[in-house]
Amino acid sequence: MITFSRTMLVGGEFLGEKTLRFHGILEDNIYAMELQVEVGVDNGRILRIQGEMKRYTTPICPRAAEFLQKAVGISLREENWISKVNREVGQKGCQHFAEILIECGRCLDFAMIARAIAGARKENPSVSSQEVARSWVRNHPEAQGVCLSRPLTEGPHAD
């Protein structure tokens, strides 16, 4: 019998050409919290962030939302952005908020790829999603390391 379950969900929406808003949710048997994070598309910089604790364990937990503001200005393109988030948000505020923020950041490239696929499909409805995604990764060196950047001729998923 499952006695504990945790779900984390991240969704993203583009607010025009320059801003991407992530909505992240963490919910388990103990905690429930949400984040909204606005990120600059051109540089991955966190522009705005807010969080809400809906279910928590101690009366000081809601104060951790104040530490989210320490993440404003961090670029999700910086080499050590995850360490910065863990230090400024997780250690000083709330590790759960940090985990949601990190997952939102990990979704940046995939949101950009999804936008590229949607744009390509407007022009050509029969375009291959895989080819659009691979093309996007080839043209964006910051995305190197995501699974789509690996060649199809190597590894367990080779053609």
Please write the tens of the pLDDT for every residue from 103-154.
Answer: 999 999 999 999 999 999 999 999 999 999 989 988 888 777 767 655 555 4
pLDDT digits 0-9 by tens, 28-66: 999 999 999 999 999 999 999 999 999 999 988 889 999
Task: Report pTM.
Answer: 0.88
Instruction: Tally the C-alpha atoms within 13 A of residue 37's C-alpha that lie toward its C-beta.
Output: 37
The CATH fold assigned to 6-106 is Enolase-like; domain 1 (3.30.390)
Q: Return residue ranges of the chain for CATH 3.30.390.
A: 6-106
Has residue 155 got a pLDDT over 60? no
Name the 3-class secondary structure at 5: coil
Q: Which residue from 60, 61, 62, 81 is spatially nearest to 72, judged by alpha carbons? A: 81
Has residue 157 got a pLDDT over 50? no
Supply the pLDDT for residue 13. 98
1 pLDDT band, cuts 50/70/90, is: confident
Please state the length of the chain. 159
b or e along 72-110 (b: 16 or more beta carbons within 10 Å of the residue's beta carbon)?
eebebbeeebbebbbebbbeebbebbbbbbbbbbebbbb
